[in-house]
Amino acid sequence: MHLHILGICGTFMGSLALLAREQGLTVTGSDANVYPPMSTQLEAAGITLREGYRAENLAPRPDLVVIGNALSRGNPEVEALLNLGLAYVSGPQWLAEEILPGRRVIAVAGTHGKTTTASLTAWLLEAAGLAPGFLIGGVPRNFGVSARLGAHDAPFVVEADEYDTAFFDKRSKFVHYRPEIAVLGNLEFDHADIFPDLAAIERQFHYLVRTVPGKGQLLVADDEPALDRVLAQGCWTPVTRFGREAASPWRLVLERDDASRFRVIHQQGQGAESVDEDAVVDWSLTGTHNARNALAALAVAHSLGVDLARGAASLARFETPRRRQELRGEVAGIQVIDDFAHHPTAIAATLEGLRAATPCGRLLAVIEPRSNTMRLGTLRDRLAASIAASDAVFWYQPPGLDWSLTPVLEASPVPARLEQDIDALVAVLVEEARPLDRIVVMSNGGFAGIHDRLLAALGVAHG
């Protein structure tokens, strides 16, 4: 069978391609932007990539076309497949119909932290010998790929995105997955290009809750008012809370300020019959947000039979997914770190975690506001405050950003600079950086390969 995927270099669609290839299907795909890490892992799997959308990409005629949610009417390849009468389906529907039936599905949802939490969950199950399948919106470095089938009778972990499904299906992707266990990690406003307000996103999360069976489990973060409103719309599944509140059955206690060491307390039972078990996690990640992600993953793994102590010990061997606090290189004591943060809350959390873990040297933030929500300017009033934990910030105004970042610089609590040219930005960073500095680059796109360009320029300057 020949499967052709439109938007194949997106994290979700590229992962689908890997699963289809593992099933033995012939897989091709096209995309407007082809860049690592997704392009490299697809090529390594023997998948033919075609840059640009055109009718010729549909020859030879595929048996089925899977359409990514970035594609819309008017796209030349979409118009061609409709005119040719080709069979087509959305990515989430293909996953639900071809991969998930018969599997114990764990869906990880939330505005932030989905990729890390899903990667943590898959790793804990793998370390326990369960050989899980997974589809993750990034590349977990413990596995080296963003998706795999896993053992046929093993759990399947899926990063459950609230973004819409396709141009012909405007429901959130996650309503297709029918999980037995759903993790709701957090919820705030995002995706301003498709949701008018937070209430609209809460409604989609409610639809996800409706699909979880009564014999299943909802693992829900505490201290999240929006998630409380979701559950208030109706819930038919046992709810287990996790977080830092004393009443939560899964509780986190920091033992280091940077959250590189923390204690997990699990309360089993209620009242006089309750019993606590605990374990300490000592790992390479920083930030309270990552510790909460790990707490959720430990709770999932425990519900699938993984002992808490064993799970906590396994986290010492967890490697961050690609582009999540990923150290890309170091030159003359200057570190260049890549992070996917693109929402003010995620930017602040990333910087706060790195700040606590940077006792010497400065933390320099480099940010490209590239996401659809950022391009619309919906959250721009929160950007200045989001970088308070850094020592200085360097903003890049990408093409297509139709509003000025100047007011963000004027409101900045730390020294701020704006550049509109990548080469100029690299030059400024090389001039500014000194040994022991950590430069964290944040964007949800390729950022014109700035990481490698910066490392190369630092090598020349300090060589």
Q: Is 271 annotated as a binding residue?
A: no
Phi/psi at 410 (5° precision): -65, -30
In terms of domains, do 435 and 334 share one?
A: yes
Query: Which is nearest to 7 in space by CA: 63, 55, 67?
Result: 67
Q: Is 116 annotated as a binding residue?
A: yes
Using the 3D structure, point to which of 64, 91, 118 is the last residue of a domain: 91
Q: Classify burial at 382, counting beta carbons within 10 Å of its beta carbon; exposed 0-12, middle 13-18, buried 19 or more.
A: middle
Q: Name the stretches of the chain with pLDDT < 50.
A: none
Amino acid at 421: D
In terms of domains, do 385 and 446 share one?
A: yes
Count: domains in the chain: 3
Q: Is 329 annotated as a binding residue?
A: no
Give residue 88's pLDDT. 98
In terms of domains, do 239 and 175 share one?
A: yes
Query: Which is nearest to 356 in space by CA: 455, 289, 449, 452?
Result: 289
Using the 3D structure, point to which of 268, 285, 317 is the last residue of a domain: 317
Phi-psi region of 381 (alpha: psi -120 to 50; beta: other; left: phi over 0): alpha
In terms of domains, do 237 and 268 share one?
A: yes
What CATH number should be reported for the domain holding residue 173? 3.40.1190.10
Give residue 273's pLDDT. 59
Amino acid at 58: L
Q: Is 115 annotated as a binding residue?
A: yes
Name the CA radius of gyration of the chain, rounded.
22
Q: Is 111 annotated as a binding residue?
A: yes
Residue 87 three-state SS? coil
In terms of domains, do 166 and 254 share one?
A: yes
In terms of domains, do 155 and 272 share one?
A: yes
Question: Residue 437 and residue 439: Cα distance in Å, rounded?
Answer: 6
- For the chain, how many residues are written? 463
In which element (H, E) is residue 393 found?
strand 392-396
Give residue 373's pLDDT. 64
In terms of domains, do 291 and 271 share one?
A: yes
In terms of domains, do 281 and 343 share one?
A: no
In terms of domains, do 287 and 351 share one?
A: no
Residue span of the structural domain in which 131 resides? 100-317
Using the 3D structure, point to which of 285, 317, 349 is the last residue of a domain: 317
Strand pairing of 261-268 and 250-254? Answer: antiparallel
Give residue 374's pLDDT. 65
Question: Residue 285 and residue 62: Cα distance in Å, rounded?
Answer: 43
Query: Which is nearest to 317 in space by CA: 282, 350, 347?
Result: 282
Q: Is 11 annotated as a binding residue?
A: no
Give residue 428's pLDDT. 86
Task: Please spell the DSSP secondary structure of 442-454, one letter per residue.
Answer: E-SS-GGGHHHHH
Task: Name every residue whose Cβ is closer than 8 Å to that of residue 284 and which is 6 or more positions away in sequence.
Answer: 260, 316, 318, 319, 320
In terms of domains, do 203 and 303 share one?
A: yes
pTM of the model: 0.81
In terms of domains, do 186 and 296 share one?
A: yes
In terms of domains, do 54 and 130 share one?
A: no
Task: Name every residue whose Cβ is closer than 8 Å to that of residue 178 and which is 6 or more positions away in sequence.
Answer: 96, 100, 105, 211
Q: Is 110 annotated as a binding residue?
A: yes
